[in-house]
Amino acid sequence: MRIKFWGVRGSIPTPEHRNHRYGGNTTCVEVRLENGGLFVLDCGSGGRALGKSLQREFGQKPIHGFFLMTHFHWDHIQGIPFFPPLYHPGNSFLFFAVNRKKTELQALIEGQMGSPHFPVDMSALSAWRSYCSLEYGEINIQGTTVRSAPLNHPQGCVAYRLDADGSSLVFATDTEPGSPVHDRALRDLAQGADVLIYDAQYTPEQLEDEKKGWGHGSWLEGVRIARECGVRRLILFHHDPDSDDEYVDELVGRARELFPDVEGATEGLEIILPQQEIVHAYAASTLRRERRYHVDFPVHVTWGRNNGSRREAEGLVLNMSESAVYFLAPENVPPDTPLELEIAVPEEITGKGKLVSQILAQPVRRSLVNRPLGGRSPCVGVVARRIDHPSEALLSAETTSGQ
């Protein structure tokens, strides 16, 4: 199962420089399966980029997919008229929603292309389309077990769980805690999930005050669900239009104080299950062009926390290049925070004492590795790119011979 984020923002697109790292497009998540299955979870403005990507990938071959719609507020459907594969004959798409009659579902999706809101109507869409109403419960769609649960949101919303390829994903956007019925239903759905994508638009403080009743969650409730339900990884999602990159960083940092395996959803972020491999959108694809050196050196990893404290861990570097390093580390090493790496080249290699190289690096990919590290297994393998510049000023040698 491969999960990719195309839109992570809530309420309205915010294509602003201050949001460039997390992204400004509204809700859209792609799920691809080993059997070729394609699921699209909502289709906000991020759906346009997804559609263009699918066209580049498939070329002249037909595209078949399934849309799972959580609800019909504009930030979750506004990308549908701009989803290019819908305009090409030979493609086919099924739209699913819970407790919506087929005619009602069709009207909700096609209505936004009616006059006076859009220059052309749905007759311009040449792809085959069908609409299907689901009941709460369980259904099999192309070898994928799909379950659903109601969420606490104005006019209603639905959470989905997908089980396939030995992995599980729960998508729970637009939900406010505090309703016992809805809180219980979501926890039942999230039990033991590999990934929980959760609405964290507001802070716990906002939910106690001016945003109470608006139908959104917080990082704290996401952490509570993840811990109570044995979720492996929590993705904070549906970022508020007013939350810039630094503010979302702060929320993610607060969440990691209580649950280490937390990510803030970014456009282009990919999660590959079941190995929990993570690929960030900003990861350069040029790392393998350089000569890599296979090594086996100890590394001391240090990183900061939002409260100003420092964390440390011991790891092992396995290969290096001029601009990147691959190392093993404990699972608590964060996946998207700059890391200070102190790499020790042993005296038996240098012949002149231990050489210590200090570099600053940004993780771009990590995955679980079934290999002992300091008596602990599994650990994570981390690919990180250097965010300093290689120079003699960054290398310090300390002679330890005779000590």
Alpha helices in 16-158, H assignment, sequence order = 47-58, 102-110
Residue 403 lies in a domain: no
Domain containing residue 346: 287-397
Same domain, 186 and 315: no
Quick one: 204 and 299 in the same domain? no
For residue 344, the domain's CATH number is 2.40.10.220
Q: What is the CATH number of the domain that holds 271?
A: 3.60.15.10
163 within domain boundaries: yes
| Residue that the structure tokens 């250097």 belong to | 386
Q: Is residue 238 domain-shared with residue 340, that is, in the same domain? A: no
Would you state the torsion angle of the CA atoms of residues 262, 266, 272, 274, taken in this order, to the nearest 10 degrees? 20
Minimum mean pLDDT among 36-45, 173-182, 358-367: which range?
Answer: 358-367
What is residue 397's predicted lDDT score, i.e. its pLDDT?
Answer: 34
Res 150: pLDDT: 97
Summarize pLDDT for 60-95 with one digit per residue, the tens: 999 999 999 999 999 999 999 999 999 999 999 999
pLDDT (tens digit per residue) in 270-315: 999 987 788 876 544 444 456 778 888 899 999 987 677 889 999 9
Of 238, 262, 279, the domain-final residue = 279
Q: What is the per-residue burial (b if ≥16 Cβ within 10 Å, else e) of 236-249?
A: bbbbbbebbbebbb
- At 368, the pLDDT band (50, 70, 90 cuts) reads confident
Q: Is the peptide bond before 85 cis (omega within 30 degrees of 0)?
A: no
pTM: 0.77
Our separate counts of H helices and E strands in the chain read: 7, 22
Q: 244 and 327, same structural domain?
A: no
Residues 247 and 293 grouped into a single domain = no
